[in-house]
Amino acid sequence: MVQKILFVCLGNICRSPAAEGVFRAIAPEVDTDSAGTGGWHVGEPPYGPMQTAAQARGVDLSDLRARQFSAEDFTRFDLIIGMDDANIAEIERLRPRGNQTPVRLFTDYAPQSGASAVPDPYYTRDFEGTLTLIEECAKGLRGVP
């Protein structure tokens, strides 16, 4: 069983903190964290509208703070999960030579959704649709031994 999972998006204020919050609620035995490939929001709590939408589903994100993804994360986690292809490309760009930590798309765990990325609600404003997809992906990931 994977013990330490890192969720990664661009800003670390919408998708990846929501993914972390949803996943830790259904798999509290797994160590989780989240990070952004960009550093604009370091130290900030999750985006207000995302916190509100998550809270309405019983998911509290208020303790989370943004940080930037770094190469050291490859040795700190058993599994790194990106929200879209741009996240994956940026994560892979920082992979240390010889490191073999698996990096996956979150939507790989919800093939039935037909989605190939978690849309960014910071731009789409569809916080509900993103949360619903995140919940599907999180359940799929929870089922992975």
Q: Binding residues for ligand 4NP, per CB under 6 A?
A: 9-15, 36, 40, 120, 122
Residue 108 a catalytic site member: no
Tokens matching residue 86 = 């741009």
Which residue's beta carbon is nearest to the bound ligand 4NP?
Answer: 11
Residue 120 a catalytic site member: yes
Q: Which of 33, 73, 84, 120 is catalytic?
A: 120
Q: Closest CB to ligand 4NP among 17 and 109?
A: 17
- Closest separation in Å from C-beta 106 to ligand 4NP: 11
Amino acid in position 57: R
- Closest separation in Å from C-beta 135 to ligand 4NP: 16
Question: Residue 94: CB partners within 8 Å, gap ≥ 6?
Answer: 69, 70, 71, 74
Q: Closest CB to ligand 4NP among 45 and 122?
A: 122
Task: Measure CA of the first residue to CA of the last residue in the chain; give whole Å.
Answer: 5
Q: Closest CB to ligand 4NP among 5 and 13?
A: 13
Exposed e or buried b per residue across 67-98, where buried means at least 16 C-beta atoms within 10 angstroms of its C-beta:
bbbeeebbeebebbbbbbeebbebbeeeeeee
Q: What are the catalytic residues?
A: 9, 15, 120
